[in-house]
Amino acid sequence: MIRYERLFEDTDSLVNCCAVQPDLAGFLTGEEAESMQNCTTVVQNRAAAARLAARELLAQEGYPEWSLPRKHGDAPDWPTGLTGSISHSDEFAAAAIARRGPVECIGIDIEPAEPLPAGLRETVVVAGDVAGSYPVEIVDRIIFCAKEASYKAVYPIDRRFLEFNEMIVDLDRGTAKTCYDRRIRFSVHVDHRIVVLAQLMAIDT
């Protein structure tokens, strides 16, 4: 059984999580499967979980059959008037969609609630990042997740690649700022996973 879980009910975006399971690749649409034919079965199952989570949300907006084929180096295409984002880890996948209007673009990232691999902290966490009150053993991973989600929210608009040191996040305020002063809001959910939803607002107040 495919189980879905809703997160961030108090935002302008709809967010859905789905557990990665064996044989989910069979649920890919023909277009999606073709775009991933060179991927391993493990990767296909993870990608399928993210797309199933997305399609459950898209069905509510009138697009139950919408396909999200893989696009090398870019995000999938979403229906006109909607913005969306998908992410997956080894065990879980997440998807988010929002109507364009107050929200210009969104990004989501999902990670295990575990410390960052050794050696990554120096790359990810930079002067200016605010760690907030999250558990010290996973706060670096939360910062990583926040930067990944925020990057996904701005890249479709700005088409600019960013290194980790070109974005500052404040976990207390739930805000991120790029080196060129683009500002993003984000929400964090932590349990056995870390999920960050980033929203680039059309007009930021």
The residue-averaged pLDDT of 123-129 equals 96
pLDDT score, position 148: 98
Residue 2 has pLDDT above 80, yes or no: no
Q: What percent of the chain has pLDDT over 70?
A: 99
Summary mean pLDDT of the chain: 94
- Alpha-carbon span 14 to 9, nearest angstrom: 7
Residue 74 has pLDDT above 90, yes or no: no
CA 200 to chain centre: 13
Q: Are 90 and 14 in contact (CB under 8 A)?
A: no
In tens, the pLDDT along 139-185 reads: 999 999 999 999 999 999 999 999 999 999 999 999 999 999 999 99
Residue 70 has pLDDT above 60, yes or no: yes
Q: What percent of the chain has pLDDT over 90?
A: 87
Residue 198 pairs with which residues in a beta bridge?
107, 186
String of b and e for 58-84 (b: at least 16 CB within 10 Å)? Answer: beebebeebbbbbeeeebbebeeebbb
What domains are there in the chain, each with its CATH number? 4-81+91-100 (no CATH), 107-201 (3.90.470)
CB atoms within 10 A of CB 123: 12
Ramachandran category for residue 122: left, alpha or beta (phi over 0 → left; psi -120 to 50 → alpha) = alpha
pLDDT score, position 166: 98
- Alpha-carbon span 37 to 32, nearest angstrom: 9
- Alpha-carbon span 53 to 60, nearest angstrom: 12
pLDDT score, position 204: 63
String of b and e for 180-205 (b: at least 16 CB within 10 Å)? Answer: eebebbbbbebeebbbbbbbbbeeee
pLDDT score, position 55: 95
Residue 56 has pLDDT above 60, yes or no: yes
- Alpha-carbon span 13 to 75, nearest angstrom: 17
Residue 205 has pLDDT above 60, yes or no: no
Residue 181 is encoded by which pair of tokens? 């002063």
pTM here is 0.94
pLDDT score, position 1: 59
Residue 15 is encoded by which pair of tokens? 């967010």
